[in-house]
């Protein structure tokens, strides 16, 4: 049996605020589990902190303070306090009524909880009172060998999203995949999984150091077509206010009507949905920009287009025009508004907006001198 020093886990907890809060918990049997243990035992910098307990979940969450978001159907609570977040679950056993469904859970011991987890290296726990290492058979050996292995043959049938997590962990950890696990993953299908659950996994993937590598591994499971060179060009053009993870995903989704329905099923936020839906228009935007001779024409083409899609259009072509737009032209604005036109005697109505649009177009094209007076004079011109 491989041997690791659990003190490294406790030391890693002591070095961070959320870990110190966890070590101060009383009134329950508490263990740290999952990626925090895996990375700490390997001498790596751990990321997320997950606790599993035997005891009163509400009492433990209250000890941590901050804001709590309970998920009673999963015997879990999310805690956010002083800049950190933590997931706490009651030790549980679970049953899947059908492949891809969410599990039904009941309280259990920590030892019973570990074998239900996704991969053996994520099923290692260290108790906070005494530093006892708890692990399913073979898990510590898998950690020592850098091997990802499911804990039972029905793992991907119970929760097919584990296929997506497997791809993520391969590239995050650099571990190899156990032969049987690889075979089971190849046969797994995501068809029975809700779009919302797939969307949640995609959000995790685009936060990885190399999300394209993960997405490329999933091209046989999802409607993806990863183009690394295209995506890199788009990322190089993307401004600071762009969501780079969302841009990466947008560049990787295949275009088509069926895929539009899939995008809707992911149940992402409104802006993310807009970006992913508009991504298929990027090649047409690039062609239109190539024919745009004036900044005002670029304004007409790109008005309302998310910056991520604009950057993607630049990756398809017209990179110089897109760079100019993203760095300079999109920030051009008028110093006047409808109030000034009303004060000058124009009647209220849609004509006010039309005059302001025409004035902005002239300003973009360099036909209006700087300053409010010049803009107002331009907006009051009768000539269209």
CA distance linking residue 326 with residue 239, whole number of Å: 7
pLDDT 10s digit of each residue in the chain, 384 long? 567 899 999 999 999 999 999 999 999 999 999 999 999 999 999 988 999 999 999 999 999 988 999 998 999 999 999 889 999 999 999 888 787 778 888 999 999 999 999 999 999 999 999 999 999 999 999 999 999 999 999 999 999 999 999 999 999 999 999 999 999 999 999 999 999 999 999 999 999 999 999 999 999 999 999 999 999 999 999 999 999 999 999 999 988 767 889 999 999 999 999 999 999 999 999 999 999 989 999 999 999 999 999 999 999 999 999 999 999 999 999 999 999 999 998 999 999 999 999 999 999 999 998 899 999 999 898 544
Domain boundaries, the chain: 7-145, 146-222, 227-331, 338-380
User: How far is residue 332 from each of residues 219, 284, 352, 369, measured CA to CA in Å?
Assistant: 41, 24, 19, 13
CA distance linking residue 239 with residue 247, whole number of Å: 11
List the one residue out of 110, 128, 133, 129 whose CA is nearest residue 18: 128
Query: In the CATH hierarchy, which fold is given to the domain comprising 7-145?
Result: Beta Polymerase; domain 2 (3.30.460)
Its pTM stands at 0.89
Q: Does domain 146-222 have CATH number 1.10.110.30?
A: yes
């Amino acid at each position: 049996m491989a041997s690791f020093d659990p003190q490294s886990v406790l030391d890693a907890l002591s070095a961070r605020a959320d870990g110190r809060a966890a070590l101060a918990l009383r009134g329950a049997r508490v263990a740290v589990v999952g990626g925090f243990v895996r990375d700490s035992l390997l001498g790596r910098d751990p990321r997320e902190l997950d606790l599993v307990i035997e005891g009163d979940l509400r009492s433990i969450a209250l000890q941590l303070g901050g804001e709590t978001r309970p998920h009673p159907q999963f015997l879990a609570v999310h805690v956010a306090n002083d800049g950190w977040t933590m997931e706490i679950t009651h030790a549980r056993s679970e049953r899947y009524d059908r492949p891809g469904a969410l599990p039904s859970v009941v309280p259990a011991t920590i030892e019973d909880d570990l074998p239900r987890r996704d991969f053996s290296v994520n099923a290692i726990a260290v108790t906070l009172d005494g530093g006892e290492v708890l692990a399913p058979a073979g898990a510590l050996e898998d950690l020592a060998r850098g091997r990802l292995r499911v804990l039972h043959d029905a793992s991907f049938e119970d929760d097919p999203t584990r296929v997506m997590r497997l791809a993520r962990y391969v590239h995050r950890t650099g571990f190899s995949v156990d032969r049987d696990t690889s075979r089971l993953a190849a046969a797994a299908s995501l068809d029975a999984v809700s779009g919302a659950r797939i969307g949640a996994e995609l959000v995790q993937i685009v936060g990885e150091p190399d999300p394209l590598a993960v997405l490329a591994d999933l091209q046989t499971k999802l409607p993806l077509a990863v183009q690394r060179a295209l995506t890199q060009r788009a990322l190089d053009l993307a401004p600071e206010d762009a969501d780079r993870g969302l841009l990466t995903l947008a560049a990787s989704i295949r275009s088509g009507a069926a895929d539009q329905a899939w995008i809707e099923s992911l149940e992402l936020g409104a802006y993310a949905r807009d970006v992913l839906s508009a991504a298929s228009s990027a090649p047409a935007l690039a062609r239109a920009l190539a024919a745009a001779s004036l900044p005002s024409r670029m304004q007409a083409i790109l008005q309302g287009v998310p910056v991520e899609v604009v950057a993607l259009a630049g990756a398809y072509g017209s990179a110089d025009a897109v760079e100019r737009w993203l760095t300079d032209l999109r920030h051009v604005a008028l110093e006047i508004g409808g109030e000034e036109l009303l004060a000058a005697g124009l009647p209220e109505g849609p004509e006010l907006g039309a005059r302001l649009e025409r004035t902005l177009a002239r300003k973009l094209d360099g036909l209006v001198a700087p300053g409010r007076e010049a803009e107002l004079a331009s907006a009051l011109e009768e000539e269209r």
